[in-house]
Amino acid sequence: MPAIVDLDPTVVETLRSAIGGESTPLTSVEQLRSYLGEHPDEHTIVLGPSVDLQTAMSITDGLRISRPSLGVILVRRRIETSTLAEALRAGVREVVEERDLAGLNSAAKRTADIARAMRDAAPSGQYGEEAVRRARVVTVFSAKGGCGKTTLATNLAAVLADGGKRQVALVDLDLAFGDVAIALQLFPTHTIADAIPLGATLDAEGLAALMTPHSPGLNTLVAPVEPGTSASIPAELISRVLDILVEEYDFVVVDTPPAFDDQVLAAFDKSDVIANIATLDIPAIKNLKLTLETLDLLNFPRERWQILLNRADSKVGLAVSEVEKSLGVTIAVQIPSSRDVPATTNRGVPIVLDQPRHPVSLAIRSFADQHVLPLAAQPPDQAVPPELRQDRRGVFRRKARH
């Protein structure tokens, strides 16, 4: 049953009434610490408006590591942007205004459902002992179109497959305007849209039937060809697809649209590397800066970000050093310009396969060697569970709409 903490007993009773059902009233942080020690199965705590914000953040940050299935709901008299951002970074599950009693009731139900799902999914009843996943996921992203996302994704997937030495799945998540099939000159019988009727019953065998092979070791899951289909593909289905693929492949590469939509954020949740690609022009650099700030706000670990600069040798008045200084990051790989890239794309052959010694091919291979392949030798990460990140994103989006 939820534990409700506030220094004012009257407020505690009001919050208890809003949640409904059985709950435990607590009027001090010390009582909360004792209570949690005695109740290892508790799934929800509600921190009332009189609990100091820094104290609440300290409690939440500690629980995120020691008891990740335990959800924290923060109640504030007024939700300010700075408070919301700090709460999300600390791992607070929901932030609710004190007067929004219906919202508190809904938040408590969601938190309980998430905790139950996390515990049910954990082996031997122990959360945190996740099954060792096989594949590592690389998501290629840019908030600006025309930077070369699909070119990078297709060539990176081909490099990782290495002629059949590894099994790689390439997923086209640009559900409205995906170009993976065209770039590789594929003629798919099925697309990701065919997974919609299967929903939660989708399994490895069913997903394998939707894949389109390209070359030894490289299989693709292409975007829908019917206009308007993208709106009917929920983020939950994307998560399901990726969960299956990581058990069946060595690497999964995800191509994306230039947007922070729910499907892309679902892919980010599963990603070991988020490969942000940009070009040497002001709009692309501006969008890259906003992308990094958004990833930071959404609490995606910075060690998973990698920055790639495409057409980096273009003489356009911007220096790579200036870009690095402006963004406060280091460019992982600089990919040079070449007319050979669109030429090979028009033939449906990744340049890394057509001309493996080409400077563009060497740059992409360098990125794979330095930032992707080494992940295969590392143990599975112990990142904040996707359920928590997804919920924090929901709070972020709800706040952004107000």
Say which CATH number the domain at 329 has. Answer: 3.40.50.300
φ, ψ at 171 (rounded to 5°):
-110, 125
Q: What's the total number of domains in the chain?
A: 2
pLDDT at 397: 47
Q: What is the pLDDT along the chain (402 residues), one digit of tens a residue?
A: 788 999 999 998 999 888 887 888 998 888 888 888 788 878 899 999 998 888 888 888 777 767 777 888 999 988 887 777 777 777 788 888 988 898 888 888 888 877 777 666 554 444 433 344 478 999 999 988 888 999 999 999 999 999 998 999 999 999 988 899 999 999 888 999 989 888 888 888 889 999 999 999 999 999 998 877 878 889 899 999 999 999 989 999 999 999 888 899 999 989 999 999 998 888 888 899 999 988 888 888 888 889 999 888 777 667 788 888 888 888 999 999 899 999 998 898 999 999 999 999 999 999 999 999 888 766 555 444 444 444 444 544 444 444
For residues 173 and 51, membership in a common domain is answered with: no
For residues 106 and 209, membership in a common domain is answered with: no
Give me the sheet containing 44-47, strands edge to edge.
24-26, 3-5, 44-47, 71-76, 94-97
φ, ψ at 246 (rounded to 5°):
-70, -15
Residue 391 lies in a domain: no
Paired tokens of 323: 């870009």
Q: Directed axis angle between helix 386-401 and helix 262-270, to 10°?
A: 150
pTM for this model (two decimals):
0.63
For residues 140 and 125, membership in a common domain is answered with: no
For residues 151 and 40, membership in a common domain is answered with: no
Paired tokens of 379: 């143990």
For residues 144 and 262, membership in a common domain is answered with: yes
Q: Which domain holds residue 325?
A: 136-379
For residues 121 and 187, membership in a common domain is answered with: no
Residue 402 lies in a domain: no
Residue 116 lies in a domain: yes
Residue 344 lies in a domain: yes
For residues 164 and 27, membership in a common domain is answered with: no
pLDDT at 168: 94
For residues 12 and 108, membership in a common domain is answered with: yes
Say which CATH number the domain at 51 has. Answer: 3.40.50.2300
3-state secondary structure of 145: coil
Residue 396 lies in a domain: no
CB 178 within 8 A of CB 167: no
- Cα–Cα distance between 222 and 364 in angstroms, integer? 22
Residue 285 lies in a domain: yes
pLDDT at 57: 86
For residues 219 and 247, membership in a common domain is answered with: yes
Paired tokens of 371: 């930032």
For residues 33 and 143, membership in a common domain is answered with: no
Residue 399 lies in a domain: no
Residue 260 lies in a domain: yes
| Element holding 110 (H helix, E strand) | helix 101-121
